Structure 1
Amino acid sequence: MNATAERTLTAQDFRLYSHACGDLNPLHLPELDGDGDGETEAICPAAYLASLVSALIGTKLPGPGSRETGWSLRLGKPVRMGETVKVQLVVEEKDARSVTLKARVEGPSGPALEARVTVVPPVKAQTFGSAEISDLLTRKHEKFQRLIAACAGLDPVATAIVCPHTPDSLTGPLEAFDKGLIKPILVGERARIEAAAKKARRDISGCEIVEAEGEEAAAKAACALVREGKAGSVMKGHLHTEAFLKAILSKETGLRGSRRVSHVFVLDVPSEERLLFITDAAVNIAPGLMAKRDIVQNAIDLARALGVKQPKAAVLAAVETVNPAMAATIDAAALAKMAERGQIEGGLVDGPFAMDNAVDVTAAKIKDLSGEVAGHADILVGPNIEAANVMAKELSFVGRAESAGVVIGTSVPVILTSRADSAFARIVSCAVAALHRHWQQTGEPVGALADRS
């Protein structure tokens, strides 16, 4: 008796294996150079090859319910990510209680693993399928990685970092600097900035420091750097959001543009193939109709800057039908008509939608909703700040999304991050700001994103 199987080794296989067992040896990880020679190795772990043998034992020979009681193995030629291996099992011996199997994993260059495995078969033959196993959702943020990669051809944006007084608020900008996304100008109290750098074990000798005492003074100084042409974006560090936005929104000394200023969360949700944009979750508390018009237009412009050729904006409410007793549904219908009449440009706008039928095609079909936005929304426009903020935080902390946050409608992009954000989120926020800055200057997305749209 014998059994065979084939498997092509993928980057995701190696990532799942490494996280499941804690083997973070960079030789096995597709993104890393394990031996310092300047190239990634992505060598398949020996234990993963053994697991392919175990999988064939547990599914084919002897099959579900088999229990392995002994192994002896010998390793051969290494195999790497992208290569296909063939797994073979042959019954060598058997008695009343156990079976000895000869196993072989063959790679492109010859045997990668040879083994003998002693197995106790199940008392009774069983069947078992993948439908009986819980789905596995892995966190992968390839969409954000593409945004970072798209900035490769851009010059770093001089960015005023306001109050980088803690290791967390300093590390994110410095990592964005390492990736060539920004050129940080550190605005705040020198002693606290230097203490944060020492604690984070980062060298800031190459960074300009603009001294300012207190949160309000630092935020005003950052805005002044923009007005003087010394900075092309501003980033919130460790200070209260109210103090930061007060300076940004000042009519006399702030960064207001021709439209209402608004905030957009950009989310990379593992279960979605597209980026999601949620607005406005941070600036406008209870916007009226004309303010919502600007909020939608800002989000469409940002989506286009990130390579979405024709963004689809769903204006959300609790229900997907117009109800005069629910003001959000009236605003949604009016915004859809305004877009139809050219008062909102560059994208498709429809509403009202409930959250489910805005993003899920099946839910939209069940409710008999038609149109290009139904079930396919890129942009989710909340009826107020509470709804949009809860929606974004729920996707981040329950749906395991990674998020970036920017304020737009300003003369330059404003990076608004939370103290709970990861360093990666801060890096992506810098990439989003750089891409939006390019859009402001050229009216086009960068070439790498335009080619994908």
Structure 2
Amino acid sequence: MKITENRTYDEISVGDSAEIVRISTEDDFYVFASASGNYNPMHLGRVDGDGDGATEAVAPAMWEASLISAVLGNLLPGPGTLYQSQSLIFHERAHAGDELLTRVRVVEKRPPNRIVLETRVERCSDGALVLDGEAEVKAPPKKLVFNDLEIPGLVIERHRHFDALIAQAEPLAPLPTAVVCPEEARSLGGALLGARHTIIAPILIGDPAKITAAAAEIGASLAGIEIVEATDHERAAHLAVDLVAGGRAAALMKGHLHTDVLLKAALRKENGLRAGRRFTHVFVMDVPGVPHPLLVTDAAINIAPDLRTKVDIVQNAIDLAISIGIEVPKVGVLSAVETVNPDIPSSLDAALLSKMAERGQIRGGMVDGPLAMDNAVDLTAARTKGITSQVAGRAEVLVVPNLDAGNMLAKQLAYISHAEGAGVVMGATVPIILNSRSDDDKARLASCAVATLHNARLHGLMPARRAAE
């Protein structure tokens, strides 16, 4: 239990001091931007705020000054303190990652209740003075003690994992991608966004008039982009598969057509895209507050997979996780319980999948199950249940029992936890980018990046790196 206690005017003497040490982070600066309305890009990570070709992430000066109020409000004088004035002189700039020492020292008492304090913020690494000044506060007249003051936690809605994936994909050669029926604004915009970031090189297949109208709607140019005419969705899907079979495209991307039409063409027997495994869908989720990408599978294709299909679901997810930089993916096979129950089929499948991984029938990752959702992703929950495992509490891949559970989980992450989801179909000879109609630009661009990274790894074009770095 944390106790917060103040010091009254009568308890304070000239020369008394207090200090705190804090490491500044990019998230601190985003919180400050949101609270203050100051969106100066000089303070935002990964943004070149002054056009010099380098990102800055300079600590906002008033955020630095707010560290002084933390000492005054928490320690000296503490709870009940009210500001009267504060002077500030800024000397050096702090940046994200800097450890800062904030110190206050009482220099004068002014009856009946005023305290004057010298205030300083220093950079710990070299002792440089970041700012100094003088504060005058009204000290609390009564002794106050608080136990466990509860402050709501904050989750910063940044998608740093997707930013990292996009940054990894941009230096690679653009992935030639057959985009099927990009005949409305979102699907066309996603393909063109991937092209602008040099992640994919789109070939647009569909009704030229509708594609042109969609481009006009979003104010985009189609100059230099090949359009293959196909006014029928089924024909467009088959033409896209022909482009892959002929070596002109190395990926498919779903536009404004039904998923089953696209997959039926991809699964055709002659010159199709079968590669020996079942087609399975993987969501790569960027969940704010989770320190790594979270893969959810299968949430879009296999409705009620049997054990044989689940083997392919797990193996495909492991392969994709490795492609985005997770060296040894930790796979949690979900059920309603964390123990094997013969009356719950998903718990039996989970246990068998775990044993199959132990015997080398599933390769490249660590697989454990059955795991309930809480002890798959939360280490404390896993320990509370007495589960000893390399996967429990640390899962990077979540294998769901069926499509219903996967679809619900992915949408809960998106709409309640504010996650973004990239969608890719695995098991084919090439990655198939499968976006939802509701996906925004970030999700569509991340889907392109995931497909490009997977293709690059398969062809030895880049070393795998950890996406969370």
Q: Give the TM-score, by structure 1 length.
A: 0.88
Relative to 1, partners in 2 of residues 1:260 and 1:61: Cα closer, same or farther, differing over 3 Å? same
- Residue in 2 aligned with 1:13? 28
Corresponding residue for 1:396? 414
The corresponding residue for 1:220 is 238
What corresponds to 1:46 in structure 2? 61
* Amino acid aligned to 2:180: V
Give 1:272's match in structure 2, choosing from 277, 284, 290. 290
Q: Distance in 2 between matches of 1:191 and 1:254?
A: 28
User: Unaligned regions of 5+ residues in structure 1, if any?
Assistant: none
The equivalent residue for 2:375 is 357
Residues 213 and 151 of structure 1: is their aligned pair in 2 closer, same or farther, counting only changes over 3 Å? Answer: same
Aligned positions of 1:196-215 closer than 5 A: 196-215=214-233
1:157 shift after superposition: 0.4
Q: In 2 relative to 1, CA 362–438 (structure 1 residues): closer, same or farther, beyond 3 Å?
A: same
Larger deviation, residues 91-100 vs 277-286: 91-100
| Conservation of the 8 A alpha-carbon contact between 2:292 and 2:468 | no
- Residue 462 of structure 2 corresponds to 446
Q: CA deviation at 1:58?
A: 1.1
In the TM superposition, residue 82 of structure 1 has moved relative to its aligned partner by 4.4
Within 5 Å, which residues of 2 pair with 1:246-395? 246-252=264-270, 254-395=272-413
Q: Check conservation: 2:205, 2:228, Cα contact below 8 A.
A: yes
Tell which deviates more after alignment, 157-166 or 356-365.
356-365
Tell me whether 1:25 sits opposite 2:40 in the alignment: yes
State the 1:175 CA deviation: 2.6
| Deviation for aligned residue 1:387 | 0.8
Question: Equivalents in 2 of 1:119, 1:25: separation in Å?
Answer: 30
1:197 and 1:339 map into 2 onto residues whose CA distance is 48
- Conservation of the 8 A alpha-carbon contact between 2:49 and 2:55: yes
Helix, strand or coil at the partner of 2:332:
strand
State the partner residue of 2:112.
Answer: 96
C-alpha distance in 2 between matches for 1:91 and 1:105? 17
In the aligned structure 2, how far is the partner of 1:44 from the partner of 1:451? 26
Displacement after TM superposition at 1:260 (Å)? 0.8
Equivalences for residues 68-217 of structure 1 within 5 A: 68-83=83-98, 85-89=100-104, 90-105=106-121, 112-128=130-146, 132-217=150-235
Change (3 A) 1:77 1:404: same
- After alignment, is 207-216 or 357-366 more displaced? 357-366
Residue-by-residue CA offset, 1:379-425 (whole Å, 9 max, x unaligned) = 22211100111112212222233221100101100011112222111
Deviation for aligned residue 1:153: 4.7
Secondary structure in 2 aligned to 1:32?
Answer: coil
Gap change, CA 1:348 and 1:29, over 3 Å in 2: closer
Offset of 1:364 from its aligned partner?
3.0
Aligned CA distance change for structure 1 residues 101 and 451 (closer, same or farther; 3 Å): closer
Q: What is the aligned length?
A: 451
Whichever residue aligns with residue 306 of structure 2, its letter is G
Inter-CA distance 195–151: structure 2 relative to 1 (3 Å threshold): same
User: Structure 2 CA distance, aligned partners of 1:309 and 1:34?
Assistant: 34
Q: Partners of 1:29 and 1:10 in 2: how far apart?
A: 10
Separation in structure 2 between the aligned mates of residue 309 and residue 82 of structure 1, nearest angstrom: 26
Backbone CA RMSD of aligned residues:
2.9
Partner amino acid for 1:59? N
What amino acid is the match of 2:151?
I
Q: Is the 8 A contact 1:220 1:253 kept in 2?
A: no
From 389, 413, 426, the equivalent of 1:408 is 426
Change (3 A) 1:92 1:49: farther
1:4–1:357 distance in 2 versus 1, CA, 3 Å: closer
Partner residue in 1 for 2:251: 233
Tell whether the 8 Å contact from 1:305 to 1:439 is kept in structure 2 after alignment. yes
The amino acid of 1:159's aligned partner reads T
Deviations 1:286-307 (A, max 9, x none): 1122122222221122122223
Residues 424 and 432 in structure 2, CA contact (< 8 A), matched pair in contact too: yes
Moved more, 95-104 or 326-335: 95-104
- The answer as to whether partners of 1:91 and 1:102 remain within 8 angstroms in 2 is yes
Q: Which moved more, 1:239-248 or 1:157-166?
A: 239-248
1:130 & 1:185 partners in 2: Cα distance? 59
